[in-house]
A and B are shown apart, each in its own frame.
Chain A
Amino acid sequence: MVDGLNAAMPADSSLAEASPEPVLGHQHRVDDEALREAVWARVQQARNVKRPHTLELVRLMASEVIELHGDRLFGDDPALVGGFCRFGQHRAVFVGQQKGSEVEENVARNFGMPHAEGYRKAMRLFRLAERLGLPVVTFVDTPGAYPGAASEERGVAESIARSIGVMSGLRTPIVCVITGEGGSGGALAIAVGDVILALENAIYSVISPEGCASILWRSPEAAQQAAVAMRLTAGEQQAMGVIDLVIAEPAEGAHDAPEETARRLGATIVAQLDALMPRALDDLLDDRYDRFRRMGAFADSGTSVTPRQERQSLGDRLRLLLGSGRGMLGAEPGPLRPAAADDQDEPPLREDV
């Protein structure tokens, strides 16, 4: 369904040389200065406050926009917007995170970080779309769900899990667009669909580069390396199969030409809806399930014996040793140690009796 739209593919010259295609097992050069700068430029584009956000885009590319509010349970989340609108011939329900373009608006919008009520509003709108036979178009642009006390109290994690579940089984076509920051579970909560699009300078990641850097490099300054290592640009995500289609941004980027960005995006959304709407719902749902079912990379050594028994064989130990290099030397494989789970924070004490 995404074939024939290659005209919308970006002529990606800036990154084409710097960034190699992601290949299984390929060692990524996180210390490559040019690559780091190219990737970081995209992260900054994705976060640019002047970039058109969900409501701006929808108003530019759709007609008959009617916004709806409230989750009917707790309140209305200004960080997640939604309602009815019309893309070309297609009446649809739209949902998206909303950042502000001025400081004041950004504070009011909570920087596009939804609480649980935001995702519950989204679910309410998804179900409404299903009942009315309207397709759903979502716009993803969030650093992540709000990670604070209020949000934990009201069960933001539960709302994200439920929203993913509602979308995976929703009996109507869903088109998702990553327009800016695709930050972790807070993004995925409204990004489960039949086709996933992204703007050229959008990013999609499991954790923010800063968060990743502070955990794995133990320093937030390593955010640029983390951004490279996670392969979070739209182009790389497309190569990994997480994103189906990348839409080139005009001029210096979406913030520089919002109208043209919206025109390109709108045309692509209409084309996707044209392709999806005639499809039988059962097939559509099976394909949607399979799309995410396939996600992941792993090897199956196909053995039925338990790993512990197998690890005792010499060949396996040698393979482990050779496969992992220096780090393994000196570390003798032993039986399951019951205390290992607590080793880091509760070291066995030897000083006292």
Chain B
Amino acid sequence: MPIKLPFRPRRQGFPPDLWTKCPTCQEMLYNKQLEKSLRVCDKCGHHFRLRVDARLAQLLDHDTFQERDAGLESVDPLGFVDQRPYPERLAAARTSTGIRDAAMWGTGAIGGHGVAICVMDFAFMGGSMGSVVGEKVTRAAEAALAERLPLVVVSASGGARMQEGTLALMQLAKTVAALVRLAEAGVPYVSVMTDPTTGGVFASYAALGDVNLAEPDALIAFAGARVSAGTIAETLPDGFQRAEFLFAHGFVDQVVKRADLRDVLLGLLGYLRPAPQRRAVSTAAQNGSGNGLLSRPLSTLVDVRADARTGAERSRG
């Protein structure tokens, strides 16, 4: 509720970042309170975009995040100049965001479950995916495979980074190939889509989770409204390309409020554990064979199950 002051406020002395207006319900939100409520409007539930550090703090157990490959930096492979040279845009983005590129990855724990996690940050050049973002997602997937940790990727991106041309496009192939290997190895992957997840990111790793989650009202689309309008002169209906639309069409398992996201992940991680490696399973089973209740040797049974599971993973990948 607006506070009526008995005198005219002194504008110059007023800190600019104190209040934020909710774009959905027009409510004035006190920034400190907004931070406390995980940047969700108290009145209407509008989810503001979250920076990478806040997201990691929200999802992971306190002080468990260990960043990897923090030193990866974009270069300018094409010598790309539009209205400004690409290196200038990069430098400006680094200054304004305080991070090196649009993704950060590392290991951490969610309620004691170890995970490999990669989080994107829309504030850095619209979360666009260039070589660094693609490399980080790929390294996260490869590490998840090697260390047999469930993989969580939180996407927030406008799509591939145009300034890196087809090298950005190739990141789709690179990340997906790594995820296919991860799936074949029986290591689970949860994709969390936040506002916005569009273009090349949606058309690669974000769409491929064993479980796909999305935040309420997040824009999730292959082609943004502008591309549709520009390419085929088709205006898209309202409410289209939102998380709830994706849910209704079967591409998202659950639309989860930010406040519940950590608990939902925690619940899922109870099930999404990497399948035991086949060799280890048969050895364990052989040690325990002696159980006369089974007509077949237990090791054979376990092997068959492991085979079936691998087959299922493959056909799904």
Q: Roughly how many angstroms separate A212 CA and B74 CA in the complex, as a whole number?
A: 20
- Interchain CB contact (< 8 A) of A147 among B16, B69, B232: B232
Chain B binder among A34-42, A75-83, A97-105, A157-165:
A157-165
Q: Roughly how many angstroms separate A222 CA and B162 CA in the complex, as a whole number?
A: 15
B135 sits at the interface (CB 8 A): yes
Chain B positions within 8 Å of A346 at CB level? 20-21, 23, 48
Q: Roughly how many angstroms separate A345 CA and B28 CA in the complex, as a whole number?
A: 15
For A189, A338, A340, the residue with the greatest tally of chain B CB atoms inside 10 Å of its CB is A338
B173 touches A338 (CB 8 A): no
B78 touches A231 (CB 8 A): yes
The smallest C-beta distance from B50 to any residue of chain A, in angstroms, reads: 7
- Interchain CB contact (< 8 A) of A293 among B98, B138, B317: B138
Q: Which of A22-49 contact B (CB under 8 A)?
A: 22-28, 30
The smallest C-beta distance from B206 to any residue of chain A, in angstroms, reads: 8
Q: Which of B158-187 contact A (CB under 8 A)?
A: 160, 162-174, 176-181, 184
Interface residues on B, range: 35 or more
A148 touches B234 (CB 8 A): yes
What are the interface flags for B221-240 relative to A under an 8 Å C-beta threshold, 1 for contact and 0 otherwise? 11100111011101011001
A4 sits at the interface (CB 8 A): no
Q: Which of B48-107 contact A (CB under 8 A)?
A: 48-51, 53-54, 67, 69-85, 87-88, 90-92, 94-100
Q: Roughly how many angstroms separate A333 CA and B163 CA in the complex, as a whole number?
A: 24
Q: Which of B273-293 contact A (CB under 8 A)?
A: none
The closest CB in chain B to the CB of A351 belongs to B11
The number of inter-chain residue pairs (CB within 8 angstroms) is 327
Chain B binder among A203-211, A267-275, A276-284:
A203-211
Chain A binder among B197-205, B261-269, B302-310:
B197-205
A338 touches B51 (CB 8 A): yes
Q: Roughly how many angstroms separate A299 CA and B76 CA in the complex, as a whole number?
A: 10
B230 touches A211 (CB 8 A): yes
Q: Roughly how many angstroms separate A153 CA and B282 CA in the complex, as a whole number?
A: 44
Chain B binder among A65-73, A244-252, A305-313:
A305-313
Supposing A161-B204, A161-B208, A341-B121 touch, asked if A214 and B98 sit within 8 A by C-beta, the answer is: no
B132 touches A295 (CB 8 A): no
A230 touches B228 (CB 8 A): no
The smallest C-beta distance from A218 to any residue of chain B, in angstroms, reads: 8
Supposing A152-B222, A152-B240, A324-B91 touch, asked if A292 and B51 sit within 8 A by C-beta, the answer is: no
Q: Roughly how many angstroms separate A43 CA and B62 CA in the complex, as a whole number?
A: 53
B98 touches A158 (CB 8 A): no
* 27 contacts across the A-B interface (CB closer than 8 A): A147-B228, A153-B249, A155-B250, A158-B251, A168-B177, A185-B160, A185-B172, A188-B169, A205-B169, A208-B231, A217-B83, A229-B82, A242-B167, A295-B131, A296-B130, A298-B131, A298-B132, A300-B73, A303-B70, A303-B71, A327-B92, A337-B98, A339-B31, A340-B123, A341-B51, A348-B16, A348-B19
Binding site for B on A (CB under 8 A): 22-28, 30, 143-149, 151-158, 160-162, 164-166, 168-169, 184-185, 188-189, 192, 204-208, 210-212, 214-217, 220, 222, 225-226, 229-232, 237, 240, 242, 288-289, 292-293, 295-308, 311, 320, 323-325, 327-328, 331, 333-343, 345-346, 348-353
